[in-house]
Amino acid sequence: MVVCTFFMAVHPTVAFAAEREISYDTTNVLDDLTSSTANGEPFDITDYPFDESKAAQVISFVEYCYSYKANLRDNYGLYIYVYNPQGLNISTNSKSNKIQMATSYDSEGNPNDYQKFNLEFCSKVEDGDYKNLFYKFKVVDREVNGTTFAQRVNSNARRYDVSGIELLTYGADTATEYYVGGTYIFTGYAEGYGADANAKNTLNCSIEKLETVELAVKHTFYRSQTSSLGAGHQNQLDTVYFSVPKRFIEEYGRLQRIKAEWYEYKTKEILVTSHSDFYNKASPYIGVNLGPKDQFGMQSYNENIYYSLGINAGDAGGGMNMAKWGWNLGNGFLHVPCEALYYMFLVDSISEYDPYASVVDIGGVQSNDLYEYIKNYNKTFENGTLPIKNGSISADLFESDIDDSRKIDNENGKIQQGYSYYDFDADVDLQTLKSWSDTSPSFWENWINFGLGAAFTGGPNEESKTVAPIQILKASDIQGTNTEIASRLLINSADVDLLKAEYNDAVTVNGINDEEKVVVLFRFATSDYYSEGVDIMELGEGFLWSDKYTKGQAYIAQESVFFDFDIIQLTFNKDGVYTVIPVVASPIDVVSDITPPVFLDDGLEWWQIVLAVLLIILLVIILWPIMPYIVKGLWWLICLPFKLIKLLIDSISKGVKKRKEKKQEKLKNKENKEV
Average pLDDT of the residues in 486-502: 97
Strand partners, 432: 466
Phi, psi of 77 (to 5 degrees): -170, 160
User: Which tens digit of pLDDT belongs to each residue from 495-508?
Assistant: 999 999 999 999 99
* Band of residue 611 on the pLDDT scale cut at 50, 70, 90: low
Please give the residue that has the higher pLDDT: either 292 or 315.
Answer: 292
Q: Does residue 15 register a pLDDT over 90?
A: no
Directed axis angle between helix 496-507 and helix 482-489, to 10°? 80
Element (H, E) at 207: strand 204-209
Cβ atoms of 1 and 36 within 8 Å: the answer is yes
Average pLDDT of the residues in 156-179: 96
368 burial via Cβ count (<10 Å: 0-12, 13-18, 19+): exposed
Cβ atoms of 58 and 85 within 8 Å: the answer is no
Least confident piece of the model among 303-307, 427-431, 655-659: 655-659
Please give the residue that has the higher pLDDT: either 274 or 544.
Answer: 274
Q: What is the pLDDT of residue 508?
A: 95
Strand partners, 266: 560
Q: Does residue 3 register a pLDDT over 50?
A: no
Q: Does residue 103 register a pLDDT over 90?
A: yes
Q: What is the pLDDT of residue 239?
A: 98
Of the candidates 287, 297, 295, 299, which has an alpha carbon nearest to the alpha carbon of residue 327? 299
User: Which tens digit of pLDDT belongs to each residue from 499-542?
Assistant: 999 999 999 998 888 899 999 999 999 999 999 999 998 865 44
- Chain mean position to CA 446: 31
Q: What is the pLDDT of residue 102?
A: 97
User: Which tens digit of pLDDT belongs to each residue from 375-412?
Assistant: 999 999 999 999 999 999 999 999 999 999 999 999 99
Question: In degrees to the nearest 10, what's the CA dihedral of 625, 631, 633, 635?
Answer: -170
Model's pTM, two decimal places?
A: 0.86
Cβ atoms of 274 and 349 within 8 Å: the answer is yes
User: Which tens digit of pLDDT belongs to each residue from 29-57?
Assistant: 999 998 876 656 788 899 999 999 999 99
Least confident piece of the model among 373-387, 466-480, 626-640, 642-656: 642-656
Percent over 90 (pLDDT), the chain:
65
Pure H helices in 451-491: 452-457, 482-489
User: Which tens digit of pLDDT belongs to each residue from 550-568?
Assistant: 778 999 999 999 999 999 9
Average pLDDT of the residues in 348-374: 95
Least confident piece of the model among 95-104, 642-651, 654-663: 654-663
Distance CA 598, CA 56 (A): 47
Q: What is the pLDDT of residue 83?
A: 97
Please give the residue that has the higher pLDDT: either 24 or 602.
Answer: 24
Q: Does residue 653 register a pLDDT over 80?
A: no
596 CB-near residues (< 8 Å, 6+ apart): 272, 350, 351, 352, 353, 362, 363, 364, 531, 533, 555
Distance CA 261, CA 266 (A): 17
Element (H, E) at 373: helix 367-376
Domain locations in the chain? 2-210, 218-288+340-590
Average pLDDT score, the chain: 87
Phi, psi of 424 (to 5 degrees): -80, 130
* Band of residue 622 on the pLDDT scale cut at 50, 70, 90: confident
Amino acid at residue number 162 = V
Directed axis angle between helix 606-623 and helix 627-674, to 10°? 70
Least confident piece of the model among 15-19, 179-183, 231-235, 481-485: 15-19
199 CB-near residues (< 8 Å, 6+ apart): 189, 191
Report the chain's terminal Cα–Cα distance, integer Å.
Answer: 119
Q: What is the pLDDT of residue 362?
A: 95
Amino acid at residue number 539 = L
Distance CA 591, CA 603 (A): 32
Average pLDDT of the residues in 341-357: 95
Please give the residue that has the higher pLDDT: either 214 or 608.
Answer: 214
- Collapsing DSSP to helix, strand or coil, 12 comes out as coil
Phi, psi of 672 (to 5 degrees): -60, -40
Sign of the Cα pseudo-torsion (437, 454, 531, 483, in order): positive
* Band of residue 621 on the pLDDT scale cut at 50, 70, 90: confident
User: Which tens digit of pLDDT belongs to each residue from 470-482?
Assistant: 999 999 999 999 9
Distance CA 359, CA 488 (A): 20
Average pLDDT of the residues in 571-586: 97
Q: What is the pLDDT of residue 8?
A: 36
* Band of residue 613 on the pLDDT scale cut at 50, 70, 90: low
Q: Does residue 218 register a pLDDT over 90?
A: yes
User: Which tens digit of pLDDT belongs to each residue from 187-212?
Assistant: 999 888 888 878 888 889 999 999 99
Distance CA 361, CA 348 (A): 8
Distance CA 343, CA 339 (A): 13
Please give the residue that has the higher pLDDT: either 41 or 613.
Answer: 41
Q: What is the pLDDT of residue 303?
A: 85
Distance CA 53, CA 103 (A): 33
Q: What is the pLDDT of residue 194?
A: 84
